[in-house]
Amino acid sequence: MVKKSLSISPGNREDELRWVLNKSKTYDVASGYRIAYHFYHSPLELCYEIMQQKTIWTALWKMKIPHNIKIFAWKILHGKLPALQQTHHRFQNNSPICRRCQLQKESIMHCIFQCPDSQQIWNRSSIAHMVPSPLCESAFSWWKDSIMPLENLSSNNSTLALILAWLVWKEICKRILNRKDLQ
What average pLDDT does the segment 130-134 reach? 87
- Give the pLDDT band (50/70/90) at residue 25: confident
Question: What was the pLDDT predicted at 48?
Answer: 62
Percent of the chain's residues with pLDDT above 90: 22
Query: Distance between CA 61 and CA 63 in Å, rounded?
Result: 6
Q: Which pTM does this prediction carry?
A: 0.68
Contacts of 143 (CB under 8 A, 6+ apart): 56, 77
Query: Distance between CA 77 and CA 149 in Å, rounded?
Result: 16
Q: How far apart are the first and last CA of the chain?
A: 56
- Give the pLDDT band (50/70/90) at residue 1: very low
What average pLDDT does the segment 113-128 reach? 91
The residue with greater pLDDT, 19 or 52, is 19
Helix (H, G, I), strand (E, B) or coil at 121: helix
Question: What was the pLDDT predicted at 182?
Answer: 52
Question: What was the pLDDT predicted at 6?
Answer: 47
What average pLDDT does the segment 98-125 reach? 91
Query: Distance between CA 181 and CA 69 in Å, rounded?
Result: 26
Question: What was the pLDDT predicted at 51?
Answer: 65
Output the furthest CA–CA distance in the chain (Å, rounded).
Answer: 87
Query: Distance between CA 55 and CA 97 in Å, rounded?
Result: 35
Percent of the chain's residues with pLDDT above 70: 80
Closest CA to 100 of 114, 121, 115: 115
- pLDDT tens per residue, range 147-168: 776 555 446 788 888 999 999 9
Asked if pLDDT for residue 20 goes beyond 70, the answer is yes
Query: Distance between CA 116 and CA 145 in Å, rounded?
Result: 24
DSSP code of residue 152: -
Helix ranges (H only) for the chain are 29-40, 49-52, 54-62, 67-78, 84-90, 108-109, 116-123, 139-142, 156-177
Question: What was the pLDDT predicted at 2?
Answer: 46
- pLDDT tens per residue, range 32-91: 888 787 777 666 565 566 666 777 888 888 888 999 999 999 999 888 898 888 888 788
